[in-house]
């Protein structure tokens, strides 16, 4: 039998009564999002929509350039193409629902929808951790063993590293999501966040979650710490090799090939650690929401900016693409607005 009760915000929520008479199952959640800032709803919608569209456009541009430009057919840009696709997937899982909520005020999400969003958020986030480690290995081979670069990172190896990164995220996310969504939720159906994240979900469980929180923390360490150790060891060897280069120009060039990846790694891991590896009661729910924006918005939007502004080869591919189009327009005697 279903019964109706009121959540903390006065909205109705549905719970199913089990044969034993205990309230155990929710049919939907209410995502509070930024509803406690009513005067900022239109501004937040405009900012988040612009950011989301820029993220999509920038990462799609990188995917397109690394696919069609002959100079970008190397392992480094193969991994960058995967990273851009991951950023698109991650933002698309979380942002559209938040935009709808800001625009319409409808903050409901079904139980299955919430579980699906949580699963794909952690799947794509986990895959990105391991993909960044694969990219660090690519930089390690390029600088420390350049003569064997295309032998060690042949097409088969690159595909295996990318597939392993995707599969790792999928498997770990399945474990995390299963642990959380098999819990009985009976305190409320109000999630004080703008998407279905695990920490606020655990607060709704009507059982002791200490053991599950510990297991989740350990899985988060696998997500974050294990790939980070691989990245750190790669860069220890990279820096050691670069410092042995005699010429200043050579050292500069070697550092420049790693700088874009290193900036992305720092942004990704700092924001991830702030959200998932901090002490439990460090920040208020509102502060957590704004800190989560670092992870959800900042890293995906900065990825195309960093790799286009700091990478000469990507900038060169972009200008070559514009040059070809301009030449085609002139050849066909089309009006100048074709650009």
Q: pLDDT in tens for each of the 339 residues of the chain?
A: 443 444 444 444 444 444 443 444 577 889 888 888 888 888 989 999 999 999 999 999 999 988 888 888 899 999 999 999 999 999 999 899 999 998 888 889 999 999 999 999 989 988 998 999 999 999 999 999 889 999 999 999 999 999 999 999 998 888 888 888 888 887 678 888 888 888 888 888 888 888 888 887 787 777 778 888 899 999 999 989 888 888 888 888 888 778 888 888 888 887 777 766 665 555 566 677 777 787 788 888 888 888 776 677 787 787 887 776 555 555 454 454 544
Q: Flag whether 275 is in a domain.
A: yes
pLDDT at 14: 47
Could you tell me which of 150, 146, 134 has the C-alpha nearest to residue 81? Answer: 134
**Quick one: 338 exposed, middle or buried, by C-beta within 10 A (0-12, 13-18, 19+)?**
exposed
Please give the Cα distance from 307 to 19 (Å, whole number): 57
Domain count, the chain: 1
The DSSP letter of residue 38 is: G
Is residue 132 assigned to a domain? yes
Q: What distance in Å separates the CA atoms of residue 224 and residue 169, rounded to the nearest whole number?
A: 11
Sheet containing 2-6: order of strands: 2-6, 12-17, 23-26
Number of residues assigned to the chain: 339
Under the phi-then-psi rule, with left for phi > 0, alpha for psi from -120 to 50, and beta for the rest, what region is 33?
left
Residue 220 lies in a domain: yes
Locate the DSSP E strands across 148-297. Answer: 190-191
Q: Give domain status of residue 264, yes or no.
A: yes
Q: Name, in order, each residue with C-beta under 8 angstroms of 183's C-beta and a sequence gap of 6 or more.
A: 202, 205, 207, 209, 212
Asked if the structure places residue 49 within a domain, the reply is no
108-110 sheet: strands from edge to edge: 108-110, 28-31, 190-191
**CATH number of the domain enclosing 252:** 1.20.1070.10
Range(s) of the domain holding residue 300: 111-312
For residue 299, being part of any structural domain is answered with yes
Q: Is 335 in a helix, a strand, or coil?
A: coil
Helix axes 155-181 and 210-243, enclosed angle (nearest 10): 160
Contact assessment for residue 183 and residue 209, using Cβ atoms and an 8 Å cutoff: yes
Q: Which two tokens stand for residue 151?
A: 């032998």
Q: Which of 48, 54, 44, 122 is nearest to 302 (CA)?
A: 54
Cβ within 8 Å of residue 205, ≥6 positions away = 183, 184, 185, 186, 187
pTM of the predicted model as reported, rounded to 2 decimal places: 0.82
In a domain, 122, yes or no: yes
Identify whether 267 is part of a domain: yes
CA distance 53 to 91: 10
What pLDDT is recorded for position 257?
A: 77
How far apart are the C-alpha atoms of 21 and 299, rounded to whole Å?
A: 46
């Amino acid at each position: 039998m279903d019964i109706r009760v009121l959540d903390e915000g006065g909205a109705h929520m549905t719970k199913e009564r089990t044969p034993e008479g205990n309230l155990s199952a929710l049919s939907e959640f209410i995502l509070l999002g930024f509803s406690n800032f009513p005067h900022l709803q239109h501004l937040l919608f405009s900012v988040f929509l612009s950011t989301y569209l820029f993220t999509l456009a920038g990462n799609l541009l990188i995917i397109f350039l690394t696919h069609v430009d002959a100079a970008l057919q190397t392992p480094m840009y193969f991994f960058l193409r995967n990273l851009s696709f991951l950023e698109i997937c991650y933002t698309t899982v979380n942002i559209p629902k938040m935009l709808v909520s800001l625009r319409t005020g409808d903050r409901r999400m079904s139980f299955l929808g919430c579980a699906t969003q949580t699963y794909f958020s952690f799947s794509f986030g986990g895959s990105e951790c391991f993909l960044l480690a694969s990219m660090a290995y690519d930089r390690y081979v390029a600088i420390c063993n350049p003569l064997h670069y295309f032998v060690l990172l042949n097409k088969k190896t690159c595909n295996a590293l990318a597939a392993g990164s995707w599969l790792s995220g999928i498997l770990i996310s399945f474990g995390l999501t299963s642990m959380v969504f098999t819990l009985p939720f009976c305190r409320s159906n109000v999630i004080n966040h703008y998407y279905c994240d695990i920490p606020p979900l655990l607060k709704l469980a009507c059982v002791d979650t200490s053991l599950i929180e510990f297991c989740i923390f350990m899985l988060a360490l696998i997500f974050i710490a294990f790939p980070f150790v691989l990245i750190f060891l790669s860069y220890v060897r990279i820096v050691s090799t670069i410092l042995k280069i005699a010429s200043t120009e050579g050292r500069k060039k070697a550092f420049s090939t790693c700088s874009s990846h290193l900036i992305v790694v720092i942004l990704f891991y700092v924001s991830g650690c702030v959200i998932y590896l901090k002490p439990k009661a460090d920040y208020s729910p509102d502060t957590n929401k704004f800190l989560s924006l670092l992870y959800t918005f900042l890293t995906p939007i900065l990825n195309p900016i960093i790799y286009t502004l700091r990478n000469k080869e990507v900038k060169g591919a972009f200008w070559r693409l514009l040059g070809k189009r301009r030449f085609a327009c002139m050849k066909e005697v089309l009006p100048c607005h074709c650009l």
